[in-house]
Amino acid sequence: MSIEAGGAFSGKLESIDGLKLNNRAEIHINKYYQGIITLYRVSRKIVNMAQEKIEYLVIKLENEEKITAIGLNFKSASGGVNNCFKLELQADILLKGKMAYANTSKFQEIYFEITEGNELIGLCPYDVNKNYEDIIFCRKIDIPINVENRSVQLENGELIFGVYPKYQYSKEALSIGFAHRITWKFNSAIDIENIRENLYIITDFFSVLAGESVTINALNCVDCDKLVEVMGICNFPKEKLNILKNDTIDYTSFKRSSLYKITDFQNLEQALRYWFSNYEKIYNAQQAYGRILLDEELKIVTTNKYLAAMQLIEGYTQAYADEEKEIKEFEEKKNELISKLESKEEKELVEKGLGYSGISFRKAVKDYLHKGYNLFEEISKKKFVEKKEKLIDDIVHDRNYYTHSSNRISAIMKFDDLLNVSNFCKELYRIITLRDMGLAIETIKLRSRNNRTFFALMKKIMDIEIETDDLKLTEFDKAMHSFSDSK
């Protein structure tokens, strides 16, 4: 039995932090994919341990498998008659396999699945287009199968993205489906906490491709060729991408054509190496991007989305700013200002009170918008600023208003315009980042051309109608054309 929300297990408590025990134990998996553990007839000593800190515990199930719980928090203790208590704990991570593990246990290989992995990997295990008419008219059901994968070598190991067929049988039917698996073979074994950190980075990469949140939906560690099921890395697993839901006038095949895939990259290894090596640098920008995605997932619409978009701009531009050049320019302007002052006191005030604190927000907005604009139409920064001076002024003004609320000024943009700017800045972050990772401009134009929201915002805000020399479908989009929800 796999670990699922609502599932329950029972068995014997084998040990707590290495201390051998033999108590009845039950585990219930709540809707947040957390393990709620109930231990029966434990001593006050164990209760005291739980109230202080327990690193891990091991429970042997009735089928001889073992569950190791890591990251335990005390919930409650009751009873106490004859020094026997009922103890309830909450576990962050559960490991289920043939062996017992500890919080320090390390693994060198993992398998995992993500939200709509087949779509985001961009490989199709079938070729229904080859004999499409025969299949439709039931003349001959012959569907070629093509199991494919892409692999890259990173600094910490090898990543393999694979897709394969999935078959489902019932009493009266046989259906074919899609399955995927991402394998990570680390150069050396790492513990669960390091595995979690690496998974956060790779899911953030996929969230940039998708334009919405992506989660880890299944995770297995490999130990001596045996799988160890892991639960708790993600508390809110998401099975389907919102963009591909059958809830608009567009067919799935059209929506799919706006979705970036890893196979879009001509050099996937270069792209992922860039992402991992620069992740810490853009961490603040990525966190702001993540807050925007969370609000969209929860359908929350407030001015906080605008502020997150502004933090996104600032985080990205600060990450790539040439600090030495900026400081030099700042000091030159500061010295020029001081030279115009006559009073010694005024000069000392400016000299001591005026210091470099990073690039100004106005400059950040100019750089960010200009970089995004230039992906679709080349223009000098000077001409761009002249052309979009009012937009830049409005963005800076309203950011200052919502950040430092004051009765002396009022907001300029209407709420709808505020949200349009927020969505636009979010989409710009995606395409700028993808371009930084080496994605071809023509691919960006093709995907953007089929993204109705971004296409409309680009025209409304930047006066650019996205055009591309090649409106043909990519290989994956062609292969998947028949796999669409009908209207």
Residues near 484 by beta carbon (within 8 Å), at least 6 away in sequence? 251, 252, 253, 256
pLDDT number for residue 346: 67
Between CA 434 and CA 442 the distance in angstroms is 12
pLDDT number for residue 1: 60
How much is the CA Rg of the chain, to the nearest whole Å?
28
pLDDT number for residue 80: 78
pLDDT-based confidence at residue 325 (cuts at 50, 70, 90): low
Between CA 291 and CA 302 the distance in angstroms is 12
pTM here is 0.90
Report whether pLDDT(345) > 60: yes
Task: Tell me the average pLDDT across 269-296.
Answer: 97
Task: Tell me the average pLDDT across 431-442.
Answer: 96
Helices (H), 218-301: 252-256, 268-278, 283-297
The torsion of the CA quartet 229, 233, 236, 237, rounded to 10 degrees, works out to -50
Between CA 92 and CA 311 the distance in angstroms is 30
Given a contact cutoff of 8 angstroms between Cβ atoms, the answer to whether 158 and 298 are in contact is no
pLDDT-based confidence at residue 385 (cuts at 50, 70, 90): very high
Given a contact cutoff of 8 angstroms between Cβ atoms, the answer to whether 107 and 222 are in contact is yes
Instruction: Record the tokens describing residue 286, joined without a space.
Output: 């990525």
Q: What region does 211 belong to: left with phi over 0, alpha with psi -120 to 50, or beta? A: left
Question: How many Cβ atoms sit within 10 Å of the Cβ of residue 338?
Answer: 15
Report whether pLDDT(290) > 80: yes
What is the residue-averaged pLDDT of the chain? 89
Q: Cα–Cα distances in Å, from 398 out to 300, 402, 423, 477?
A: 20, 6, 15, 41
**Which of 101, 102, 110 lies closest to 221 in space, CA to CA?**
110
Q: Which residue has the higher pLDDT, 46 or 327?
A: 46
Question: How many Cβ atoms sit within 10 Å of the Cβ of residue 418?
Answer: 22
Report whether pLDDT(377) > 80: yes
**Which of 60, 58, 53 lies closest to 69 in space, CA to CA?**
58
- In tens, the pLDDT along 102-120 reads 999 999 999 999 999 999 9
pLDDT number for residue 349: 67
In degrees and rounded to multiples of 5, residue 182 shows phi and psi of: -110, 125
pLDDT-based confidence at residue 148 (cuts at 50, 70, 90): confident
Q: Which residue has the higher pLDDT, 341 or 31?
A: 31
Q: Which residue has the higher pLDDT, 195 or 469?
A: 195
Choose the weakest-confidence range: 69-78, 188-197, 321-330, 433-442: 321-330
Instruction: Record the tokens describing residue 226, joined without a space.
Output: 């045996």
Report whether pLDDT(252) > 90: no
Question: How many Cβ atoms sit within 10 Å of the Cβ of residue 163?
Answer: 23
pLDDT number for residue 143: 76
pLDDT number for residue 147: 81
Instruction: Record the tokens describing residue 315, joined without a space.
Output: 């985080």
**Which of 262, 253, 312, 320 lies closest to 285 in space, CA to CA?**
312
pLDDT number for residue 162: 95
pLDDT number for residue 201: 98
pLDDT number for residue 172: 85
pLDDT number for residue 364: 93
**Which of 156, 134, 204, 174 lies closest to 433 in space, CA to CA?**
204
Report whether pLDDT(427) > 80: yes
pLDDT number for residue 487: 55
pLDDT number for residue 323: 56
Instruction: Record the tokens describing residue 124, joined without a space.
Output: 């199709």
pLDDT number for residue 218: 95
Query: Of the spans 24-28, 173-177, 335-339, 341-345, which averages the highest pLDDT?
Result: 24-28
Between CA 92 and CA 41 the distance in angstroms is 23
Choose the weakest-confidence range: 77-86, 168-177, 318-327, 423-432: 318-327
Given a contact cutoff of 8 angstroms between Cβ atoms, the answer to whether 374 and 436 are in contact is no
Report whether pLDDT(322) > 60: no
Report whether pLDDT(373) > 80: yes
Q: Which residue has the higher pLDDT, 485 or 383?
A: 383
Task: Tell me the average pLDDT across 83-89.
Answer: 93
Report whether pLDDT(12) > 60: yes
pLDDT-based confidence at residue 229 (cuts at 50, 70, 90): very high
Given a contact cutoff of 8 angstroms between Cβ atoms, the answer to whether 229 and 35 are in contact is no
pLDDT-based confidence at residue 42 (cuts at 50, 70, 90): very high
Task: Tell me the average pLDDT across 417-424.
Answer: 97
Greatest CA span in the chain, whole angstroms? 95
